[in-house]
Amino acid sequence: MKKEFFDALPKNAFALTNLDDKNGSYMLQNTRATKKTYALKTVADFKAKILEKQLSGTLITVGGVEVWTKLIGVFNIYNLTAIIATAELLGLEKLEVLTIVSQLESVSGRFEYVVSKNGVTAIVDYAHTPDALKNVLETINDIRTGNEKVITVVGCGGDRDKSKRPKMANIAAQLSNQVVFTSDNPRTENPQTILEEMEAGVSPENYRKTLTVLDRRQAIKTACRFSNTGDIILIAGKGHENYQEINGIRTHFDDLEEVKNCFNQLNNL
């Protein structure tokens, strides 16, 4: 949101900003509205604290009241705190708001996960930019105990920004124990060329962690075979999409379906 929006608010409005953000106070400098703040790290009008992090959700306190949310990741907790603060400032009853917050579900393809019978967790996420991939992997690494492996399956779309390909590969290799580079939606580009451009971004010390499997279905199967009890597989880039586009033709492909099939097959071996 631009500062001009805050500056234009009337006196009878309120302006809410994240005080942990370096620009938070700046946004409120010239507003005539009632100034309100929220934060996780700083003293604020609406203060939240993360008590417990799990792959299934997050336990937080807001204003001294504990609430469990199915959403995970610090960015989500900031967003929830802003929602709770806004609802209260609009006059809604606090406990009612917290009850609704505890019932919120993540959207399809955003940190959607399934656990195999032998305790491997697979996460499907739409992350298809360097920042998004970094946020998801940092969230996973923040939750993990440290003993389990993080195995990432990731590709980059064709006919799109080529500059992000080496960046995403580098991020995946830095923040994972094992990476499988594969096709996303190559569209009209040569998928092998896309993968070579990704590989070019991996630093020499991380190259040994990486493997390239052109076929996305086989890449997911490879990640499953690499995994052991407790490990976490991230399948990034397509999320909720239920197709793969190659040379202008879309065929059915669903990352969550594929990893479930892999888990079922491995359980039957």
- Residues 88-132 pLDDT 10s: 999 999 999 999 999 998 888 999 999 999 999 999 999 999 999
Query: 104: helix, coil or strand?
Result: coil
Task: Read off the tokens for 12.
Answer: 């009878």
Q: Are 77 and 53 in contact (CB under 8 A)?
A: no
Residues 6+ apart with CB under 8 A from 73: 58, 111, 135, 136, 139
Please give the average per-residue pLDDT across 156-165, as a whole number: 97
Fold for the domain defined by 112-267: Protein-Tyrosine Phosphatase; Chain A (3.90.190)
Q: Measured between alpha carbons, how far is 234 from 199 in angstroms, rounded to an integer?
A: 18
Considering only CA atoms, which of 247, 239, 241, 244 is closest in space to residue 159?
Answer: 247
Q: What is the pLDDT of residues 223-245, one digit of tens each?
A: 999 999 999 999 999 999 999 99
Query: For position 16, what pLDDT does the model report?
Result: 97
CATH 2.40.50.140 fits domain 3-103? no
Burial class (CB in 10 A: 0-12, 13-18, 19+), 151: buried
Q: Measured between alpha carbons, how far is 66 from 201 in angstroms, rounded to an integer?
A: 43
> Beta-carbon neighbour count of residue 223 at 10 Å?
26
Please give the average per-residue pLDDT across 169-189, as a whole number: 98
Q: Are 166 and 200 in contact (CB under 8 A)?
A: yes
Q: What is the pLDDT of residues 21-39, one digit of tens each?
A: 999 999 999 999 999 999 9
Query: For position 154, what pLDDT does the model report?
Result: 98
Q: How far is CA 167 from the centre of its chain?
A: 17
Where do the domains of the chain lie?
3-103, 112-267
Is the pLDDT assigned to residue 146 strictly greater than 90?
no
Q: Measured between alpha carbons, how far is 252 from 58 in angstroms, rounded to an integer?
A: 33
Is the pLDDT assigned to residue 269 strictly greater than 60?
no
Is the pLDDT assigned to residue 184 strictly greater than 60?
yes
